[in-house]
Amino acid sequence: MVKKALKTILIYLFLISTVSCEKSTENKDFSNVKMNAEPIGLEGKIGLDEKPKGMVWIEGGEFFMGTNDMESYPDERPAVSSKIDGFWIDITEVTNLEFKTFVKETGYITVAEKAPDWEEMKLQLPPNTPKPSEDLLVAGSLVFVAPESQVDMKDISNWWNWVEGANWKHPNGPGSDIVGKDDHPVVHIAYEDAKAFADWSGKRLPTEAEWEYAAKAGSNSRFPWGNKLKLGGVHNANTFQGDFPHLNLMEDGFSGTAPVKSFPPNEFGLYDMIGNVWEITSDWYDAAAYKRLQKQLPELDTAISKCFNPENPYAIEKVIKGGSFLCSDDYCVNYRPSARRGQDIYSGTSNIGFRCVSDNQL
């Protein structure tokens, strides 16, 4: 019973950061979607001869961030003009091998490997939420586990399980490992884990604008490669096909994470910007960010809160981008460059990872 209570709290934390996934769009053929905004003065391109290993230089430019596509989620609209300085960006998500090297050199322990800190947890819960007993505050993380049959889609605990012992080395919990998965993206990464890796590597996490600019790669269509999820009838990213969450047809060849570079790069030479794992950015999540920029709403009072999520007034969330292997056209249509979600900074999941950027030659 008490165990259930802890799970409820953790699921609650996750639920409040994923509620937008429940707003599926009805139009599944996006080929006729007309975009109101056109790119302006976009000059993004790969340049410079001397490049850091595994990174490309993105030339700065101006672009429309967000979208006016009415089949998008409300927090993506309206499109706003944004100017970006040039930067280096990893061509792939950070892999298990890279994270393993970081941990080997630093002895770093991720958030998922440590017992939850109640003082941090309660900041994101309604006041007077009772504290679970200490012996239940154990290290673990949220793992996607496909149910055997169709379930109540309003209850995400039907497919998100709090698994004691789940972390980047054991993505599905004790008994699972990452042997043979050096080239898969690392998962169960919380914001501070990603930032620690970035600091160690002399890089930083991308802003949301940088990430989106790099993902769009000069395109203003629904996907970087056009308005249809498939390109020439072939899947171009690791997403979810079938009936979410119980039936994964794996038409793209992968049920969970895929090795990075399993799908073609975008026009900037970047892999898996769409799908595979969500990617953490350095920006606080404000669901109304673009409406504020368009003066449709007052500016966020950061003296009160750094972020704004109407579904959760207690949120302490950073923006994550790109969707994951769990994004599907019948449930969570977040596999688009403009899609955005807030993620609790104190937790990761089995479908969240990251990549880094840098301003300087490394």
- Contact residues: Ca ion, CB under 5 A: 238, 252, 254, 272, 276, 322, 325
Q: Quick one: 97 exposed, middle or buried, by C-beta within 10 A (0-12, 13-18, 19+)?
A: middle
Residue 191 Cβ, how far from Ca ion at the closest point, in Å? 16
CA atoms within 13 A on the CB side of 17: 30
Given a contact cutoff of 8 angstroms between Cβ atoms, the answer to whether 292 and 299 are in contact is yes
CA atoms within 13 A on the CB side of 349: 30
Residue 83 Cβ, how far from Ca ion at the closest point, in Å? 24
Residue 341 Cβ, how far from Ca ion at the closest point, in Å? 13
Closer by beta carbon to Ca ion, 92 or else 347: 92
Cα distances from 341 to residues 29, 286, 323, in angstroms, run 23, 9, 9
Query: No. of H helices and E strands in the chain?
Result: 6, 15
Residue 174 CA to residue 140 CA, distance in Å, equals 10
Entry field: residues in the chain: 362
Residue 353 Cβ, how far from Ca ion at the closest point, in Å? 7
Closer by beta carbon to Ca ion, 121 or else 277: 277
Residue 189 Cβ, how far from Ca ion at the closest point, in Å? 12
- The residue assigned the tokens 């970087």 is 224
Sequence-separated contacts (24+) of 179-183 with Cβ below 8 Å: 181/96, 181/257, 181/259, 182/95, 182/96, 182/97, 182/100, 183/95, 183/96, 183/97, 183/259, 183/260, 183/261
Residue 94 Cβ, how far from Ca ion at the closest point, in Å? 10
Residue 214 Cβ, how far from Ca ion at the closest point, in Å? 11
Give the number of other CB atoms < 10 A from CB of residue 34. 8
Closer by beta carbon to Ca ion, 88 or else 325: 325
Residue 271 CA to residue 265 CA, distance in Å, equals 4
Residue 277 Cβ, how far from Ca ion at the closest point, in Å? 5
Residue 89 Cβ, how far from Ca ion at the closest point, in Å? 12
Side chain identity, residue 269:
G
H or E element that contains 83: strand 80-84
Instruction: Write out the DSSP string of 231-254.
Output: ETTEE-SB---EETTTEE--TTS-
Given a contact cutoff of 8 angstroms between Cβ atoms, the answer to whether 86 and 58 are in contact is yes
Task: State whether the Cα torsion 164-165-168-173 is positive or negative.
Answer: negative
Residue 154 Cβ, how far from Ca ion at the closest point, in Å? 24
Closer by beta carbon to Ca ion, 116 or else 185: 185
Closer by beta carbon to Ca ion, 91 or else 163: 91
Q: What are phi and psi of 264, to 5 degrees?
A: -60, 150
Closer by beta carbon to Ca ion, 8 or else 241: 241
Closer by beta carbon to Ca ion, 129 or else 207: 207
Closer by beta carbon to Ca ion, 257 or else 312: 257
Closer by beta carbon to Ca ion, 254 or else 268: 254
Closer by beta carbon to Ca ion, 112 or else 260: 260
According to DSSP, residue 271 is labeled -
